[in-house]
Amino acid sequence: MRPAVRCFGLAAPLLLAASVAHGIEQGEPRSGIAFASPETRAMQADDTANPGLFWVLDGEQLWAKREGAAQKSCGDCHGAASASMKGIAARYPAFDDKTGQAVDLTGRINLCRTRHQQATPLPHEGKEMLALTAFVGFQSRGLPMAPPADPRLAPARAQGEALFTQRMGQLDLSCANCHEANWQGRLGGSPITQGQSNAYPLYRLEWQGLGSLQRRMRACMVGVRAEPFDYGAPEFVALEAFLATRAKGLPVETPGVRP
Amino acid sequence: MPRTLINVPKTAKAGEIVEVRAMIAHPMETGQRMGVNGAMIPRDIVNRFVCTYGSEVVFAADLWPAVSANPFLSFSLRAKEAGVITFSWTEDSGAVHVATADITVT
């Protein structure tokens, strides 16, 4: 079943014509939480009210669970996540030597599963994968996004930037048309935001659950009536690599809360 | 067993009004949605929440299908004596999930 199309698309060309283009000034990225209502901000800030913490707690259990033919848990190699995973999510996507490609956190967890645990990869948007990425991301909460200065990531970042500015879909809109040129505006009553990637995976009230950055990007692609890439597609990893450089310096908020 | 997150202050002065929060991880499936095969997804919600302080019921609520997933409830109660605060959520299936917290009153 295709995800439901949100009907905000029609207003977009009118809005683009009416508003002045504001590029994001250098060194001034703004997290999506800055655009949220005070209630949503309070929900994210309070660990007893943030439903994303349920996934973090599940992830903590999965971290210690022995899996696969090797009967190893994440903790058997990495030790306590509070020490070994601190700052990791802030640095992803990173370059994987063996495959010679950029990998995001989800991809890295599945590589760990197949290489070291000899287990089957987890489905991208499944509860277990979201719990693990939320738990690993949670260890970096509050730390600034710090994409590594790895020249091998340059091709992926360049591809991501090209995709970010490439018009697509029946509405012929690029990510940048909204999230660079019109992030101060509103669309269908909702703030557009800069499309920053520092709070994923996050709890979206509309989803009634936790979702990954790729789910968010797929929803945007469906919104402009483009054919979304598959989960885990290299295009999405490239976009994530570019978005990480764009969000540099913003604090990691995992698990964020958004409307 | 669904997870629960509760927040009760550990200590309070006698007569003080304290805020209590309770959240349960639950899909709150309304029964109005269709699954991938066209069949209706059966209703599965938490329909009753009760909070007891000692032996007295201090807060109770009926929940309905329009309540969001992972329902979060926040309310106040007056600290009278040291005791156990018990939270219970009852599902449509009749299953009851219970969480407890101790409060010390000075």
ipTM of this model? Answer: 0.89
- Determine whether the interchain pair B23/A51 forms a contact, defined as Cβ–Cβ distance below 8 Å: yes
Determine whether A7 is an active site residue. Answer: no
Domain A11-19+28-46+150-258 shares a fold with domain A52-138: yes
- Determine whether the interchain pair A48/B23 forms a contact, defined as Cβ–Cβ distance below 8 Å: yes
Q: Which residues of A touch B74 (CB under 8 A)?
A: 49
pLDDT band of residue A28 (cuts 50, 70, 90) is confident
The residue count of chain A comes to 259
Q: Domain ranges in chain A?
A: 11-19+28-46+150-258, 52-138
State whether residue A4 sits within 8 Å of chain B by CB: no
Catalogue all structural domains in chain B, each as residue range(s) with its CATH number: 4-105 (2.60.40.10)
- DSSP conformation letters of A40-89: HHHHHH-TTT-THHHHHHHHHHHHT--BTTTTB-HHHHH--HHHHTTTHH
- A16 residue type, one letter: L
Q: What is the pLDDT of residue A193?
A: 94
pLDDT digits (tens, 9 = 90+) for B20-73: 999 999 999 999 999 889 999 999 999 999 999 999 999 999 999 999 999 999
Architecture in CATH for domain A52-138? Orthogonal Bundle (1.10)
Cα distances (angstroms) measured from residue A54 to each of A48, A135, A243: 10, 10, 26
pLDDT band of residue A26 (cuts 50, 70, 90) is low
Catalytic residue among A33, A145, A220, A244: A220
pLDDT digits (tens, 9 = 90+) for A186-195: 998 999 999 9
Q: What is the pLDDT of residue A27?
A: 53
pLDDT digits (tens, 9 = 90+) for A130-143: 999 999 999 999 99
Tokens found for residue A202: 């996050």
Q: Residue B102: is its pLDDT beyond 70? A: yes
What is the domain class of A11-19+28-46+150-258 according to CATH? mainly alpha
- Helical H runs in chain A? 11-18, 38-45, 52-63, 74-78, 81-84, 88-91, 105-112, 127-138, 154-164, 175-179, 213-223, 234-246
State whether residue B6 sits within 8 Å of chain A by CB: yes
Q: What is the pLDDT of residue A25?
A: 57
DSSP-derived 3-state class of residue A2: coil
Q: What is the pLDDT of residue B63?
A: 97
